[in-house]
Structure 1
């Protein structure tokens, strides 16, 4: 009888999750020329994520100021902001509201090969990625477009929603099986590897495709994204196997980028300065 009641509870929670998923599935962006049309699960509000991102971004900038690593190279700051100003108007292709976001672009002095864009359009570039990869303006635009695409698709909000859903799923699993402690942690890890990592690779692929379109529409060569990953591949000694990474393997990524750069090439020719 007890097992039967646990089963009933588990089924009730599972059906509730399925029902919830159906209710909050959404398409955050228009498809664009690259055809992004995946439905997303959202359990947190856009406002919540943007407010959290703004606080986090302010904290990072405050720390960088204290360390005297914020915007230390005026020419490089101007360079990335000029590129951003060409990309931002193109975001309207995917979201009408996006060009009016409070976009902010800052440079942090660091050897890291990194750049990111938080929800709501809070962008940071690290000097290391520009200097070590000797990035051209087209290549900076490719990276920035990719990071902006994460914000446009609200991948951060989707990841937070997936994490929340996983926690509820674990609670249901505990009710049904009685698993607790380290065994439950192992179960959580299995769920993370099974559910979260493939979605993360999906996010990267979506951002790659949207990024080349944003760059092309702004008059930047979309094939620059291919150049970046060829450089990264040489630096990374071939990269990790795709199944063990949250990012697509280099060869897979380069092949996909070439395909979508070719698709948006007419947009580039129409937009590039003459």
Structure 2
């Protein structure tokens, strides 16, 4: 018992030191550094490029990169710079962003993101997950639970646990371990992403149309209390409330001549 007390004190001290605050003021526990997360994100992205078929259509790639570049160029200083953007031939209506400045877009997203403003909603949302350190937050919770002690090194080899790490990074669909972001993280990414797209000169009102399209595509979505994600109707209401902040950002961007001309 006498030896246990110092150990508990050290653990408690490390947890207190790891407390952080998300962009919306939510308390987070972050036990992994930006460098560690970037290393894992980069390695995971390389895995995706090996596992999935990369789209080589020049017009499609220019279109997606135009939108992604417009969003990332206006990020806070520590997140600016060149983000690697890859379009994957994949029927699911999905996209993802990873620590290490990586963005992946599935061709299936064009089923619901009918124009540049709607696709900017998707990419802004995914980049929002990165800026809010959601992957690091999930890794930290997993680590404290005692099931992720070697998470940083897992992706560098072929050891057990790689699928879990990919799932925590938000890539579980392709690796058989689906660990979706929770409601709080999804809602937070919606808010952060909406402001990001508005600052980049994309119309935030398009976010509502996107989720109406998504709702139509996913007919029969389970009730909100049965899902880790907010229901489409709740999501739309939250986005409409956020327009009070996002619309002035959009108007300011237009007034400053920020009008991305991204065409497919």
| Aligned counterpart for 1:83 among listed residues 67, 86, 89 | 67
SS in 2 for 1:240: coil
Task: Give 1:26-45 correspondences, 5 Å limit.
Answer: 26-27=20-21, 31=23, 36-45=24-33
Partner of 1:208: 190
Superposed displacement of residue 12, structure 1: 8.0
Asked whether the 8 Å contact 1:104–1:122 carries over to 2, the reply is: yes
**Residue 233, structure 1, aligned to residue 223, structure 2:** no
Deviation, 1:79, is: 0.2
Cα deviations by residue, 1:84-111 (Å, 9 ceiling, x for unpaired) = 111112211xxx21113x4111100111
CA distance in 2, matches of 1:105, 1:20: 35
TM-score normalized by the length of structure 1: 0.74
More helix by share: 1
| Whole-Å separation in 2 of the counterparts to 1:238 and 1:16 | 48
Q: Aligned ranges for residues 227-266 of structure 1 at < 5 Å? A: 227-266=209-248
2:104 aligned with 1:116 = no
Aligned residues of 1:120 and 1:151 also touching (Cα < 8 A): no
- Distance in 2 between residues matched to 1:203 and 1:13, nearest whole Å: 31
Change (3 A) 1:198 1:51: closer
In 2, the alpha carbon distance for the partners of 1:200 and 1:124 equals: 20
Question: How big is the alpha-carbon RMSD for the aligned residues of Structure 1 and Structure 2?
Answer: 2.5
Task: Report if the CA contact (8 A) 2:113-2:210 is conserved.
Answer: no
Q: Where do 1:24-173 residues align within 5 Å?
A: 24-27=18-21, 31=23, 36-64=24-52, 69-92=53-76, 96-100=77-81, 102-130=82-110, 132-167=111-146
Query: In 1, are the aligned partners of 2:97 and 2:129 still within 8 Å (CA)?
Result: yes
* Whole-Å separation in 2 of the counterparts to 1:13 and 1:225: 48
Q: With the length of structure 2 as denominator, give the TM-score of the two structures.
A: 0.77
Secondary structure of 1:85's counterpart equals helix
Deviation at 1:245, TM superposition (A): 1.7
Q: What SS does structure 1 have at the residue aligned with 2:97?
A: strand
Give a deviation string over 1:114-153, Cα, whole Å, max 9, x none.
10001122101000111x2252100010100000111111
**Unaligned 5+ runs, structure 1:** 169-196
Gaps of 5+ in 2: 148-178, 260-264
Structure exhibiting the larger radius of gyration computed from Cα positions: 1
- Which residue of structure 2 aligns with residue 22 of structure 1? 16
Counterpart CA distance in 1 for 2:92 and 2:140 is 29
**C-alpha contact 1:146 1:208 (8 A) present in aligned 2:** yes
- Separation (CA, whole Å) in 1 of partners of 2:217 and 2:180: 25
Please say if residues 216 and 271 of structure 1, whose CA atoms lie closer than 8 Å, have aligned partners that are also in contact.
Answer: yes
